[in-house]
Chains A and B, each alone.
Chain A
Amino acid sequence: MTLPSFWKMNRKKRINSANREKSGQSNDIPQHILVTNLESNLKILRNITGNSSDIIIRRLMIEAIHRQGAIVYLDGLVNTDIISESLMESLIHEKSVMNEYSKANLLQIIQEKIITVGDIKTVRQLDELFHHLLSGEAIILIDGFDTALSASTRGGEIRQVQEPSTELTVRGPRDGFTESIRTNTALVRRRIKNPNLWLESMKIGKVTKTDVNIMYIHGIADEAVVSEVRNRLKKIDIDSILESGYIEQFIEDKTFTIFPTIYHSERPDVIAANILEGRVAIFVDGTPFVMVAPALFIQFFQAAEDYYSRSDISTAIRFLRVIVFFISLIGPATYVAVTTFHQEMIPTLLVITITAQREAVPFPAIIEAIIMEVTFEILREAGLRLPRPIGQAVSIVGALVIGQAAVQAGLVSPAMVIVVSITAIASFATPSFAIAISARLIRFIIMLLAAVLGFYGVMIGLIWIAIHLCSLRSFGVPYMSPIAPLIRKNLLDTVIRAPIWLMKERPRLISQKNMNRVGRAQYPPEINKGEKNED
């Protein structure tokens, strides 16, 4: 039988190519350490960077120890004020201290006594030196020393902290993450002023050497999860990390699933809240989207604003979101199923009206549905690509005009246009973009199932999805908790949002140890004294 051997051949090919790919991505830096001669060092630097003209080499004479030195920095990545005012000022103008100290620890003297910049490190390895240089730090090379100093002078143009465009709120803080990782971690630090908030950093990406930080609260986060995150990050072997999405695809639990198992957000308050529940936050330099692991399905239906508004309103809105998710999932499928298989379900007058509309349409209902849905997806993609002022107008006008024109041309029926529009709007109402995309894809599959088998097909599709969802785990935590497996105490923050003094426990499977977050008797005081009824 040819089938087994066909698969075996493929496997061998794959193993060979994997072996080939493992080595050879790291850029070799031939020599590993600096030498004592300044000129040679500078020559080495220039060679390796190919004389890139944005690497500025500023020679100077360090008065304090009477040596030639050079400051090397990358134009555009440094804060030139610090370089000129603090660094060069201190190095050039400090009086000689040769008399007071011995030669042995001159470097230490410069590092500790002379240079007036915040963070100074010593560097010997060339790759580490390049990492600092390319991150925006100034390298100070001194003739006669094979160790260089790296001063923290990071600057350059980064985006201001502004409201994130993807997650807007009416009530709530308006700062959002930017592309600079230190700003981002600082925004979270501002909110959690606790020394137990620990930060670990690593560099991922053989060529890009992107900074990646993880933050968690020691004592609340589950140690197993933290170490799992660390291990998975360490295992990543790729040349470039340009966005947190790259990392997500490496460390997520299961690739062949439509549903996201890692949550991401642009808002510091959201990330801080997640860290406080015991999750681990992963920051990636160069993107404002910070990831959070482990993630649960119900998280993708929660928005930051839920916690800042009153509990009854938030509960109602959460119910709405669940309904909206279902509409976006099975909307067109239900329409197709009901009009082709279960016409007895529709009230008589409505079914006659819909039939009247469909008399003019040449296609069967499922084809109509697919045409409309695909058109809508095209419109949506087009709306994303166009510049902002035109984009909005085109999507709205496009949808209306195309819908209307299609109806009048007899291509689709008005009922279909309504169904598709409601579905599209419903998919926009889902708070998390990741889940909305999932729903978009699944919608098509369920539509096809509905076209083949009516409501039975829809139900089978839903059962399939439910089984799939229940089998997912995010870093060991079941994806559908606290609904399945049922954990009653955590139900207060799922589809309903109980008042904040009721939500006493952190999610049990995420922060196994430190569970209480609200003290006793926190309900609002009953005001039965001091009522003022008259002036």
Chain B
Amino acid sequence: MENAKLTLYQLFVLILLFETGSSIVITLGIDANQDAWMTILLGLALGLILFLVYYQLSSYYPNKILTQYAKNIAGPFLGSIIGYLYVIYFMYLAARVLRDFGELLLTFAYSETPLIIINAIMVLTIVYGVSKGIEVMARTGELFFIFLYLLAIVGFFLILFAGLIDINNLKPMFANGIEPIIKVTLKQTMYVPFGEVIVFSMILPYLNHFKKGRKIGLYAISLSGINLALTTVINVAVLGVDVNKRSPFPLLSTIQLIKVAEFLERLDVFFMLALIMGCFFKISIYFYASVVGISDLLKVKEHKKLAFPLGIILILVSMMIATSYPEHIKEGLNFVPLYLHLPMQVILPLFLLVVSFFRNRKKGTKADK
């Protein structure tokens, strides 16, 4: 645990950047065709519930991060195993997002550069940020948040003015009934990106006003969910369902179509800037959680010392998890949600919550503070 304090606004910004970070560039829920945005909103609702679970767990053990209170709840041996599981889980997810990021950059901008170089440079920066601590990262987040939002708003207006939006592409709604929507939500959007908020169990203890954290967290997740839904709506409206399904990066295709005033066209690079910023934060937060978790489990006093070696591990893992991009994506859609996200984001925390609920009931109202 660091000696750091985060303000509520910083938490808000971190959650928002984390959620929106890489999700805004990939497809979400497109298996439900033009109702994809509904799956996002439904996933948002479920994600909010999940956040309440994580927040409640943190509130039972204030000033303790996940790896610490896991030991309190499940006993030292089982608890540290749970802690290790989560640390590896976070590291794997960090590597996943890093791989996603590198592949994306390679696909449309830097095709001749080797993947490891792109990943390595990003990881170097992340290691620098993480070694400075969560406060510095939160402040950097505040800086970039403004810039990112400005970019988003300008982009939105450009798409509007280019006359690209054709609402008809979103019809008919509920074309195949509500079933596909629910299926896609339960298989995909609930976990990515909304369930990923579990990583904030490693960050919530740093809040200066913990009680208000719940409201802020809910706001942040809702806002990011609305952002994502809006982006999906725009993507489908502009491109149509078919192109959306066949593009790995629909937002890029949308931006490529912008042609305003004969001069504002070819704006893909701004997409790249937003991507770099968003992915940087997402990977940083996962990586930070992992580093802090490991340094806590291995009883290393300063997590800064671990940042660099773990960074190298991150690069290597990101290269090893898949041999091709389609394999990576397929893993992410078929294997990861069911065998990783479901247990780690839903089952384990619920189990921990139930146990801690009963334990704290036994102790009486002492643990409420």
What residues of chain A have their CB less than 8 Å away from a CB belonging to chain B? 338, 341-342, 344-347, 453-457, 459-460, 463-464, 466-467, 469-471, 478, 480, 483-486
Other 12 A-B pairs with CB < 8 A, given A344-B268, A460-B276: A341-B110, A346-B266, A453-B113, A455-B109, A455-B273, A457-B121, A460-B121, A460-B122, A470-B139, A483-B146, A485-B10, A486-B142
Report how far A486 CA is from B10 CA in the complex, Å: 8
Residue B306 CB within 8 A of the other chain: no
Q: Which residues of B are found within 8 Å of A467, using beta-carbon distances?
A: 125, 128-129, 132, 136-137, 140
B154 CB → nearest A CB, Å: 15
Q: How many A-B residue pairs have CB under 8 A?
A: 92
Complex interface: chain A residues within 8 A of B268 (CB) = 344-345
The answer, among B105, B109, B121, B133, for a CB contact under 8 Å with A342, is: B109
Return A472 CB to nearest CB of chain B, in Å: 9
Give Cα A453 to B133, complex, Å. Answer: 27
- State A466–B17 Cα separation when bound (angstroms): 16
Q: Which residues of A contact B136 (CB under 8 A)?
A: 467, 470-471
Residue of A nearest to B265 (CB): A347
Query: Interface residue count for B (Cβ, 8 Å)?
Result: 36
Q: Which residues of chain A come closer than 8 Å to B113, judged between CB atoms?
A: 453
Query: Taking the nearest CB of chain B, how far is it from the CB of A157, in angstroms?
Result: 49
B257 within 8 A of A: no
Can you name the residue of chain B whose Cβ is closest to the Cβ of A337? Answer: B269
What would 15 A/B residue contacts be, using CB atoms closer than 8 Å?
A342-B269, A453-B113, A453-B118, A455-B269, A455-B272, A456-B105, A456-B110, A463-B129, A463-B140, A464-B125, A467-B128, A467-B129, A467-B137, A480-B139, A486-B10
Is A470's CB under 8 angstroms from B143's CB? Answer: yes
Among B118, B132, B280, point to the contact of A471 (Cβ < 8 A).
Answer: B132
Task: Name A486's closest neighbour in chain B (CB-CB).
Answer: B9
In whole Å, how far is B213's beta carbon from the nearest beta carbon of chain A? 16
Chain B residues within an 8 Å CB radius of A347: 263, 265-266
Q: Residue B277 at the A interface, CB < 8 A?
A: yes
State how many angstroms separate the Cβ of B29 from the closest Cβ of chain A.
29
A532–B136 Cα distance when bound, in Å, is 57
- Knowing A345-B268, A347-B266, the reply to whether A463 touches B277 (Cβ < 8 A) is yes
Residues on A with beta carbons closer than 8 Å to the beta carbon of B139:
470, 478, 480, 484-485
| Chain B residues within 8 Å of A470, by CB | 132, 136-137, 139-140, 143
Q: Contact between A460 and B125 (Cβ–Cβ < 8 Å)?
A: yes
Smallest CB gap from B146: residue in A: A483
Within 8 A of A (CB), among B86-131: 105, 109-110, 113, 118, 121-122, 125, 128-129
A467 to B109, CA, bound (A): 25
Q: Check if B144 is an interface residue, CB within 8 A of chain A.
A: yes
Q: Is B360 located at the chain interface by the 8 A CB criterion?
A: no
Q: Please state if A466 and B140 are interface contacts (CB–CB under 8 Å).
A: yes
Residue of B nearest to A351 (CB): B266
Indicate which residue in B10, B143, B276 contacts A480 across the interface (CB closer than 8 Å): B143
| Residue pair A463, B105 in contact (C-beta under 8 Å) | no
Q: Is the CB of A453 within 8 A of B129?
A: no
Residues of A contacting B132 in the complex (Cβ-Cβ under 8 angstroms): 467, 470-471
Which residues of the partner chain A approach B265 to less than 8 Å between Cβ atoms?
347
Closest A residue to B129 by CB, please name it.
Answer: A467
What does the 1/0 interface line of B254-295 toward A look like (CB < 8 Å)? 000000000101111100110011001000000000000000
Please give, as numbers and ranges, the residues of chain B lying within 8 Å of A456 by CB-CB distance. 105, 109-110, 118, 121, 272, 276
Contact A454 to B143, CB < 8 A, known contacts A471-B132, A471-B136, A485-B9: no
Indicate whether B63 reaches chain A with its CB closer than 8 angstroms: no
Shortest Cβ distance from residue B141 to the other chain A in the assembled complex, whole angstroms: 8
Q: Are B125 and A454 in contact (CB under 8 A)?
A: no
- A residues in contact with B118, CB < 8 Å: 453, 456
Say yes or no: is B27 at the interface (Cβ < 8 Å to chain A).
Answer: no
B7 at the A/B interface (Cβ < 8 Å)? Answer: yes
Return chain B residues, CB-CB under 8 Å to A454.
Answer: 109-110
A455–B266 Cα distance when bound, in Å, is: 15
The 4 residue pairs across chains A and B that have the minimum distance between CB atoms = A484-B139, A470-B139, A484-B142, A471-B136
The smallest C-beta distance from B98 to any residue of chain A, in angstroms, reads 14
Q: How far is the CA of A471 from the CA of B134 in the complex (A)?
A: 10
Assembly CA distance A454 to B110 (angstroms): 9
Bound CA–CA A471/B125 (angstroms) = 14
Residues in chain A near residue B122, CB distance under 8 A: 460
CB distance from A276 to the nearest CB of B (A): 27
The distance in angstroms between the C-alpha atoms of A338 and B266, with both chains bound, is: 12
Q: Is the CB of A485 within 8 A of B128?
A: no
* Minimum distance in angstroms from B36 CB to a CB of chain A: 29
For B143, list chain A residues within 8 Å (CB).
Answer: 466, 469-470, 480, 483-484
Contacting residues, chain A, for B133 (C-beta < 8 A): 471
Query: Are B9 and A345 in contact (CB-based, < 8 A)?
Result: no
Which residue in chain B gives the minimum CB-CB distance to A348? Answer: B266
Chain A residue at smallest Cβ distance from B141: A484
User: Is A453's CB under 8 angstroms from B110's CB?
Assistant: yes
B266 touches A345 (CB 8 A): yes
Q: Which of A456, A464, A478 has the most CB of B within 10 A?
A: A456
**Chain B positions within 8 Å of A471 at CB level:** 132-133, 136
Whether A459 lies near B128 (C-beta < 8 A) is no
Instruction: Return chain B residues, CB-CB under 8 Å to A469.
Output: 143
What is the bound-complex CA distance between A137 and B257, given in angstroms?
79
Cα-based distance from A471 to B138 in the complex (angstroms): 10
Chain A residues positioned under 8 Å from B121 (CB to CB): 453, 456-457, 460
Q: Which residue of A lies closest to B113 (CB)?
A: A453
Give A297 Cβ to nearest chain B Cβ, in Å.
10
B117 to chain A: closest CB distance in Å? Answer: 8
Q: How far is the CA of A329 from the CA of B276 in the complex (A)?
A: 19
Q: Name A338's closest neighbour in chain B (CB-CB).
A: B269
Minimum CB–CB distance from A291 to chain B (whole Å) comes to 25
What residue in chain B is nearest A480 (Cβ atoms)? B139
Which residue from A338, A341, A344, A485 sits with its C-beta under 8 Å from B142?
A: A485
Closest to A455 in B: B269
